[in-house]
């Protein structure tokens, strides 16, 4: 996957996760960061579950799931 697609998937995954978890996006840069970190977390979680993502849609789903997990954990930490 090219670097540009990597950034686009990160931005879209972060934006979608922001909509689901908070009700809105965070801005382009934070969306990209949340999506990229989410992709790493999602890849790790999918690996533990024995799941594999393929292609652009699979990468987007993996990053989205990971970003949701990241934002959920951040919300737990923020409440304390």
Looking at the 3D structure of the chain, how many domains does it have? 1
Question: Per the structure block, which two tokens stand in for 15?
Answer: 């934006």
Q: pLDDT confidence of 3, banded at 50, 70, 90?
A: confident
Range of the domain at 57: 3-75
- Is 53 contained in some domain? yes
Q: pLDDT confidence of 78, banded at 50, 70, 90?
A: confident
- Is 9 contained in some domain? yes
Reduce the DSSP state of residue 53 to 3 states and report it. coil
- Is 80 contained in some domain? no
**Could you tell me the pTM of the whole model?**
0.87
In this prediction, residue 80 carries a pLDDT of 65
Residue pLDDT, tens place only, 18-62: 888 876 667 788 888 999 999 999 999 999 999 998 999 999 999
Question: Per the structure block, which two tokens stand in for 36?
Answer: 């990229």
In this prediction, residue 37 carries a pLDDT of 93
- Is 46 contained in some domain? yes
């Amino acid at each position: 996957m090219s670097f540009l697609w990597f950034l686009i998937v990160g931005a879209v995954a972060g934006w979608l996760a922001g909509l689901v978890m908070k009700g809105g996006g965070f801005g382009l840069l934070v969306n990209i960061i949340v999506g990229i970190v989410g992709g790493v977390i999602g890849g790790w979680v999918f690996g533990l579950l024995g799941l594999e993502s393929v292609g652009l849609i699979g990468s987007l789903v993996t990053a989205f799931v990971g970003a949701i997990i990241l934002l959920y954990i951040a919300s737990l930490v923020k409440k304390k």
